[in-house]
Amino acid sequence: MKALLTAALLAFASPALAVEPAWPDLEAALYEGRTLNAGENIIAIDAPYRTYDDARTRIAAQVAAPEGQMLASLTVILDENPMPVSAVFTFKSPLPRFNFEATFRVNGPTPLHMVAETTDGQLWMVERFVKTSGQGACAAPPGTDPEEALLTLGDMEIGVSGGASPLDRLGALAHGQKQVDIEVSHPSHSGMQMDQISLLFIPMRYVESLDVELDGAGYVDITGSISLSENPSVSLSVPRTVGHVGVTMTDTDGTTTRAERSLADW
């Protein structure tokens, strides 16, 4: 499944500033004529009207399945990014609701689509538009020296509630949830960045997947892309009763690392 998703991420690459909207072609390629239901009552996007930092833009959402249904997956699509399918959250067991927050590169002004799939096979879509400052984030020079970045590549820190706003935390508590924050040390090289000394392009290397386990059982598999920011941050809602979190990171070079944390004190 991960190999197929990664191939799909690459297959739907589009120019940063397309003359024609990318969405019709993306929709046809990704969903093959399936109906996309209006998802305004299902997905609430939290994204800036204009990015403060194109290379590290916080995008979040609160998702709740329709009554009588459960969530199977959630896909984040930045239409005009070079790799539009930016992150896919696949739930190991269906969920009634899910919140996330993550840091992305936004390469240029773009529609942002989120598509949730419920366990009955229905698709629910919402759209926003995000303006940028024109930095061309996917090709912008990395913030750290590529050689130095290798020294800590794959290191992860797991925290609780630090990345969510007070309002988000109150909402999570109301639904018996808490927020887990995952900080990943990874340069997320896009393949479009130039080494500032050698003037050669840095080979593509990014976080391919984050597999999150709760109390030893699979919770969500996150498939990444070059749209994830350098040293990406990902926050997820989890049941308040969870006592242990384990996260396994795999990147496109095959490097695998793991971090764990007990949540007994939270």
**pLDDT tens digits, residue range 202-244?**
899 999 999 999 999 999 999 999 999 999 999 999 999 999 9
Domain carrying residue 46: 2-262
pTM of the complete model: 0.88
Mean pLDDT of 146-170: 74
Element (H, E) at 183: strand 177-184
CATH code, domain with 201: 2.60.40.2470
Which range (147-156, 160-169, 231-240) has the least confidence? 160-169
Total domain count, the chain: 1
Of 240, 211, 205, the C-alpha closest to 223 is 211
* Average pLDDT rounded to a whole number, residues 182-197: 87
Express each pLDDT in 99-122 by its tens digit. Answer: 999 999 999 999 999 999 999 999
Sheet holding 36-38, edge to edge: 36-38, 123-130, 110-118, 71-78, 85-95, 217-223, 207-214, 244-251, 256-262
CA distance 234 to 163: 8
Q: Summarize pLDDT for 11-65 with one digit per residue, the tens.
A: 444 444 446 899 999 999 999 989 999 999 999 999 999 998 999 999 999 999 9
